[in-house]
């Protein structure tokens, strides 16, 4: 892990959504330097499934050497933002770093996303980030450090990232567009950057949404905290960047990333918006049905009765190849055996290397039974019955749902 150097001692960080999860991890990392942390979040009473409040976070921050100011802030409320900024300046004398971490998520398609949920995501993610930045900028301009960091993804216009959750993607990309615009607008005065994880991050929210066992496929929030800490040490000229946590930490000399894994050695879920293997995809467009399947598998690993479409990486072709991809024939519904025949012909060592997991399917309905797909050993294999190697993931579904998943329906 990245060691603390004391460089943030006496600095004031205004962090939205800092009562738990990634926001709190960033706060604790800075607090170990002796930083001042403004905890701008809504939670004043612990949620039954989401422990942590602005007050318990303040206690943890002060226990590791920082100073804390808990403020009740719903980033949809401009007055609450302004009041918290004013309190921060009164207590600590200014603001040196803003972390826009608060976010709302609904991984639902267009017809299944209520207008109320659309408004929530737009208001928290895009509007909340914009308003909080606007309120902090006058004070950030006076700081020698002056960083805005948005927890938002690179602006990847691959259609696969819009297809299943258009509203969420628009709302998150709104945060990223704030980076694009403000970095240019305040160049030389404030560094404005985005930070995004390469893999799924384990938080209490992920536990609640992802279901039992999801944590083994995640990294700890410490990796985001270390990457943020690295960014804050950079000059104001380091601006307008869309940073992936692992890539930055490799530049910092970190080589052992198992220290960040909840379960070292276990396959990790890649995060949204990151095209993990672009060269592989470009070379193997003809195998896109397997690529789509791989993304579906990653989704189903955290899906519990369609409650939550989990973090995934769709190894999808670049934009110029999408017409060809979308015109590929769909698999016939119910043809489980035929599906496995197609999968067998498309398997390769590259796909195995990219996936590293053994899947077993318990299918009900016509052509059901037990089937497996080994994407962990040698060049991969598939068939009926039980696999010869230990199973990483067991999936139970109807044959109809199974075929739909492989057909990218």
Tell whether 251 and 343 lie within a shared domain.
no
Transcribe 112-123 into DSSP letters.
GS-HHHHHHHII
Q: How far, in Å, CA of 257 to CA of 251, rounded? A: 13
Residue 299 included in any domain:
no
Q: Which of 237, 260, 283 is the last residue of a domain?
A: 260
Task: Report pTM.
Answer: 0.69
Check if the beta carbon of residue 235 is closer than 8 Å to that of residue 287: no
Is residue 278 scored above 50 in pLDDT? Answer: no
110 within some domain: yes
Q: How far apart are CA 174 and CA 155, in angstroms?
A: 9
Q: Which pLDDT tens digit goes with each residue over 47-99? A: 877 789 999 999 999 999 999 999 999 999 999 999 999 999 999 999 999 99
Q: Is the CB of residue 288 less than 8 Å from the CB of residue 330?
A: no
Query: Is the domain of 62 the same as that of 200?
Result: yes
Q: Which of 130, 168, 229, 325 is catalytic?
A: 168
Element (H, E) at 175: helix 166-185
Handedness of CA 212, 217, 222, 225 (dihedral sign): negative
* β-strand pairing of 369-375 with 381-384: antiparallel
Dihedral pair phi/psi, residue 244, rounded to 5°: -100, 130
Phi, psi for residue 254 in degrees, rounded to 5: -75, 130
User: 124 and 25 share a domain?
Assistant: yes
Confirm if 69 and 27 have CB atoms less than 8 A apart.
no
Task: Give the pLDDT score at 337.
Answer: 82
The Cα 372–Cα 381 span in angstroms is 8
- Of 198, 228, 260, the last residue of a domain is 260
Question: What CA–CA distance (Å, rounded) separates 25 from 21?
Answer: 6
**342 and 221 inside one domain:** no
E strands, 121-214, are 147-150, 191-196, 201-202
Domain boundary among 260, 287, 303: 260
Domain that holds residue 194: 12-260
The pLDDT of residue 316 = 37
Judge if 79 and 165 occupy the same domain: yes
Q: Is residue 2 part of a domain?
A: no
Q: Which of 197, 225, 228, 200 is nearest to 214 (CA)?
A: 200
- CATH code of the domain containing 400: 3.30.1050.10
Q: Domain of 253: which CATH number?
A: 3.40.50.720
Query: Which position has the higher pLDDT, 139 or 351?
Result: 139
**Contact indicator for 27, 18 with CB cutoff of 8 Å:** yes
pLDDT above 80 for 294: no
Cα–Cα distance, 373 to 402 (Å, whole number): 13
87 CA to centre of own chain: 31
What does residue 262 show for φ and ψ, rounded to 5 degrees?
A: -65, -40
Q: Is 260 a catalytic residue?
A: no
pLDDT digits (tens, 9 = 90+) for 238-247: 999 999 999 9
Given a contact cutoff of 8 angstroms between Cβ atoms, the answer to whether 316 and 158 are in contact is yes
At 99, phi and psi to the nearest 5?
A: -115, 110
Q: What CA–CA distance (Å, rounded) separates 225 from 257?
A: 14
- Asked if 188 and 141 touch (Cβ cutoff 8 Å), the reply is no
Number of domain units in the chain: 2
More confident residue, 3 or 346: 3
Residues 130, 248 share a domain: yes
């Amino acid at each position: 892990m990245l060691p603390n150097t004391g460089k943030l001692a006496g600095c004031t960080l205004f962090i939205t959504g800092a009562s738990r999860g990634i926001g709190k991890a960033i706060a604790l990392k800075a607090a170990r330097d002796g930083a001042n942390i403004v905890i701008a979040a809504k939670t004043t009473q612990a949620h039954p499934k989401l422990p942590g409040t602005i007050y318990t976070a303040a206690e943890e921050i002060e226990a590791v050497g920082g100073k804390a100011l808990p403020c009740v802030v719903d980033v949809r409320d401009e007055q609450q933002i302004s009041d918290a900024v004013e309190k921060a300046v009164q207590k600590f004398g200014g603001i040196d770093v803003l972390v826009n971490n608060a976010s709302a998520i609904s991984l639902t398609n267009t017809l299944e996303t209520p207008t109320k949920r659309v408004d929530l995501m737009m208001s928290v993610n895009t509007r909340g980030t914009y308003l909080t930045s606007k309120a902090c900028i006058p004070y950030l301009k006076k700081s020698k450090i002056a960083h805005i960091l948005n927890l938002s993804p690179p602006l990847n216009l691959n259609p696969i990232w819009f297809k299943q959750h258009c509203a969420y993607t628009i709302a998150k990309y709104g945060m990223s567009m704030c980076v694009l615009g403000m970095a240019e607008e305040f160049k030389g005065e404030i560094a404005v950057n985005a930070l995004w994880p390469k893999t799924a991050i384990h938080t209490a929210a992920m536990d609640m949404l992802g279901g039992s066992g999801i944590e083994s496929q995640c990294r700890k929030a410490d990796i985001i905290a270390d990457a943020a800490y690295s960014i804050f040490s950079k000059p104001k000229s380091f601006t307008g960047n869309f940073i992936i946590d692992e890539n930055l930490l490799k530049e910092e000399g970190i080589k052992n990333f198992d220290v960040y894994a909840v379960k070292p050695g276990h396959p990790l879920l890649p995060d949204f918006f990151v095209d993990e293997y672009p060269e592989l995809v470009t070379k193997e467009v003809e195998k896109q049905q397997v690529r789509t399947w791989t993304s579906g598998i990653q989704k189903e690993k955290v899906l519990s009765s369609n409650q939550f479409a989990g973090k995934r990486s769709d190894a999808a072709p670049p934009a110029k190849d999408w017409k060809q991809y979308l015109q590929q024939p769909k698999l016939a519904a119910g043809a489980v055996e035929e599906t496995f025949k197609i999968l067998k012909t498309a398997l390769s060592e590259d796909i195995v290397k990219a996936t590293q997991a053994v899947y077993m399917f318990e299918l009900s309905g016509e052509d059901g039974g037990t089937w497996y797909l080994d994407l962990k050993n040698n060049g991969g294999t598939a068939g009926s019955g039980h696999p010869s190697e230990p199973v990483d993931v067991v999936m139970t579904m109807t044959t109809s749902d199974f075929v739909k998943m492989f057909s990218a329906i």
